[in-house]
Amino acid sequence: MKTFGFEVILAAGTEMTEELANRLFEVGCDDGTPGVSCGAAGIGFSREADSLESAIRSAVADVQKAGCTVDRVEIEYDSLAPIA
């Protein structure tokens, strides 16, 4: 498996609370770092998967399990290749 880096941005108005961060961790986002950037809540992932698409799909599914709405996924150009 390879590790891919990307960020899942949550819908506008979502507040990143300690409760939400704990809920994300409990549903499988333990490979993500929750935070806020430019007023938008999101989770930066380093997710292991066979492909970037598979990593993103599983991360989005986990975020949705926590009751969150995903606005978008951001991928840095140099993250298109797996980490390590």
Domain positions in the chain: 2-79
This prediction has a pTM of 0.88
List the one residue out of 14, 26, 17 whose CA is nearest residue 66: 26
Question: Longest C-alpha distance within the chain, in Å?
Answer: 35
Per-position pLDDT tens, the chain of length 84? 899 999 999 999 999 999 999 999 999 999 999 999 989 999 999 999 999 999 999 999 999 999 999 999 999 776 666 565
Report the phi/psi class of residue 43: left, alpha or beta, with left for phi > 0 and alpha for psi in -120 to 50.
Answer: beta
The token duo for 16 is 């990143």
SS3 27: coil
Q: Which CATH number fits domain 2-79: 3.30.70.980, 3.40.5.50, 3.40.50.2300, 3.40.50.300?
A: 3.30.70.980
